[in-house]
Chains A and B, each alone.
Chain A
Amino acid sequence: MSTAPDLVIDVTGVTKKFGDKTVVNAIDLQVRRGEIYGFLGPNGSGKTTFIRMLCGLLTPDAGAGTCLGLDVRTQQAAIKLQVGYMTQRFSYYEDLTIRENLDFVARIYGVPGRRAAVERSLERLGLQHRSHQLAGQLSGGWKQRLALAACLIHQPRLLLLDEPTAGVDPKARRDFWEEIHRLAADGLTVLITTHYMDEAERCHRLAYLAYGNLLARGTVADVVAAARLNTWVATGPGLRALADALRGRPGVEQVVPFGNSLHVSGRDAALLDRAVAERRAPEHEWRRIEAGLEHVFISLMESAEDNFT
């Protein structure tokens, strides 16, 4: 297999079925070294399942490729040594203290200079004074920090983060992203799933998954451009009635209230313009805007619903 040297993940046709339900459907993915790659998609779209296949926790039903240059189907043991995987659900030992958890992980990976490594990781994540607290007693945000520290302790070359910031406050999330960017700058590759749009925008590139199918990928600009979504914004009184009137009109795919404005979008510009023109009234101010990621994703998801269910 010829793999470009800087491709950390390079898989094609990865498929996973549970029973007769295809949860991940023939996905191709290439992630470069040092890249922060966002993985987005609605609940149950197969993000976690895909990540589990990358790190050898699930066996793909079809597909092939490499992870860190190692075959994902046959060299799982070697892959595990160089991957840090942060599970969606906290999965360290709640009846062990922070330090004991880190120490356990360090021993399992046979980290050289274990004590110092544990100390360093406590320090870097600001966990020193809490090191004797049981992991089970930590708040959600601290648990996440611990999990991140633990999956970094063996200095992996690839980080797989499954919704690492779910339920974490904005400040902690910002700190977290700063850390991720710092690590990526040092050459670590990161694949991260999230449901937050602002986080999606912090990724170098992203992929959007729905019902197991990869619907879009590229930089934020690529994804937005590829969606070719047109969006109108209306401001003024009586937006609820306006929304009800617009919903279901030909060409109108999304009608979303945003505070004091209403966003109306659709992929067919001509149809959308006609629908908007029909409802134009003097009390509303209409203006066209660039479609945002959220609109794009919702549009992708709804069209996926039509195509795959």
Chain B
Amino acid sequence: MKRFTFHRLWAMVLKEFIQMRRDRVTFGMMVGIPLMQLMLFGFAINSDPRHLPTAIRSADQGPFSRTLVAALRHSDYFQIVAEAETEAEAARLLQFGEVQFVINIPEDFTRRILRGERPAVLIEADATDPAATGPALAAMRAIADSVLDRDLTGPLAPLRARGGAIELRLHAHYNPENITQYNVVPGLMGVVLTMTMVIITGLAITRERERGTMENLLATPVRPFEVMVGKILPFILVGYIQVTLILLAARFIFGVPMVGSLLLLYPVALLFIAANLAVGITFSTLAQNQLQAVQMAFFFFLPSLLLSGFMFPFRGMPEWAQWIGSGLPLTHFLRIVRGILLKGNGLGEIWPELWPIALFLVVAMTVAVKRYRQTLD
């Protein structure tokens, strides 16, 4: 008697589908909101992030390279989190997003400066988010120009001439032209899904309660889990329509390159869509009426928008904000989408971002089922 049954779940799914089809306004909104947001956010928001994680790969142990590293450590822009031994290791750090920059100091750096050869320091940047990398690179240039001024005095002073003793070479990975749309448009997919999916299911149970249909539903043998999942499944389809719309716009309006596999992105998106729908269902069991449900949805949406790294580069935020951000599914989904589309990430690389979303889904669903009351008390 307590068991889940497929026929009851299917009854719920069919009913929700029909209701969704009849509710033209809501359905229109589901398509309209992504389009509107694409227009609004087609322009980027700039900011000045600091303490970007940086790896150093130094092949020189001379005093000048130590001076350079010390200067980087002192700058607000870079935070040296790793010393890479090999090129492969540096590449891996960049690929997994553990660092934003790898600074390569060549062999014989000190000696070549003394010889006046202007050795080149290679900066590899993860430029998926140009808003984050731009200011840091400018700071790097200033450091390179002045860092050795104090060491190069007396007989060495002439080495400072000719535009500094060091040459800087930049290698921007993933988004070499620093086009902000490349970053914003894929991110928008997550933002739109968060906004619409949470609201749509947020209304789902409060609507039954407000219209009085809940009394009838509760009088039937339908189980909480069947109600929840029955209400979630039809909207997964809507989520996929949105994903497809945004991908099409990204490709054909904004010309965003798609390096990675869409075959990977689509199933991964399922997890994220379901997570947001589950949040909505949870709100829906907490809210007294539809208005409250919408308010709760916004209460969830705002931090998602602001703290996920969509509006402001994640690493530019204070630590407490990053903590909150890490708890939000959007934060992880943004990295996944950017990773797949711009970096060509595979399942292995996105896994660290995938399980937090799955965990979130399970927690939200559990709260919802626990909170769903089977009586009118």
Contact = CB atoms under 8 A, between A and B. Distances in A.
Interface of A: 52, 55-59, 77-78, 80-81, 83, 85, 87, 89-96, 100, 103-105, 107-110
B19 A93 contact: yes
Given A81-B221, A87-B215, A89-B215, 10 more contacts: A87-B216, A89-B212, A91-B211, A91-B215, A92-B216, A93-B213, A95-B18, A95-B22, A96-B19, A109-B220
Contact of B376 (A52, A90, A109): A52
A85 B212 CA distance: 14
Contact of A58 (B12, B14, B214, B375): B375
A108 B11 contact: yes
Interface in B346-362: none
A229 B318 CA distance: 81
B212 to A, nearest CB: 5
Contact of A105 (B2, B212, B220, B377): B220
Nearest to A100: B18
Interface of B: 1-2, 5, 7-8, 10-12, 14-15, 18-19, 22-23, 211-216, 218-222, 374-377
Nearest to B223: A77
B37 to A, nearest CB: 28
Contacts of B8: 107-108, 110
A107 B11 CA distance: 5
Contact of B377 (A59, A91, A100, A103): A59
Contacts of B10: 107
A121 to B, nearest CB: 16
Given A104-B11, A105-B220, A108-B222, A96 B18 contact: yes
A58 B7 contact: no
Given A78-B1, A108-B221, A91 B216 contact: yes
Contacts of B219: 55-57, 80, 83, 85, 87
Contacts of A108: 7-8, 11-12, 220-222
B212 A87 contact: yes
B205 to A, nearest CB: 14
B377 A58 contact: yes
B221 A57 contact: no
Contacts of B218: 56-57
B14 A104 contact: yes
B221 A104 contact: no
B4 to A, nearest CB: 12
Contacts of B18: 95-96, 100
Given A77-B1, A85-B219, A87-B215, A107 B14 contact: yes
A95 B376 contact: no
Nearest to A83: B219
Nearest to B213: A91
A165 B2 CA distance: 34
Contacts of B1: 77-78, 81
A108 B8 CA distance: 5
Contacts of B19: 93, 95-96
B376 A91 contact: no
B216 A58 contact: no
Contacts of B213: 91-93
A152 to B, nearest CB: 14
A56 B375 contact: yes
A94 B22 CA distance: 11
Contacts of A77: 1-2, 221
A92 B211 CA distance: 9
B340 to A, nearest CB: 38
A94 B212 CA distance: 11
10 tightest Cβ-Cβ pairs between the two chains A and B:
A107-B11, A91-B216, A85-B219, A77-B1, A91-B212, A108-B11, A95-B22, A80-B221, A108-B220, A89-B212
A57 B376 contact: yes
Contacts of A59: 375, 377
Contacts of B14: 103-104, 107
Contacts of A89: 212, 215
A58 B7 CA distance: 26
30 contacts: A56-B374, A57-B218, A57-B219, A57-B375, A57-B376, A58-B375, A58-B376, A58-B377, A78-B1, A81-B1, A85-B219, A87-B216, A89-B212, A89-B215, A93-B15, A93-B213, A95-B19, A95-B22, A95-B23, A96-B15, A96-B19, A100-B15, A103-B14, A104-B11, A105-B220, A107-B11, A108-B7, A108-B12, A110-B5, A110-B7
Contacts of A80: 219-221
B15 to A, nearest CB: 5
Contacts of A103: 14
Nearest to B221: A80
Nearest to B12: A108
Contacts of B215: 57, 87, 89, 91
Contacts of A78: 1
Which of A77, A94, A95: most chain B CB closer than 10 A? A95
Nearest to A90: B212
Contacts of B376: 52, 57-58
A237 B19 CA distance: 62
Contacts of B212: 87, 89-91
A59 B7 CA distance: 27
Contacts of A81: 1, 221
Interface centre among B10, B19, B215, B221 (most CB of A within 10 A): B221
Given A59-B375, A93-B15, A107 B216 contact: no
Contacts of B211: 91, 94
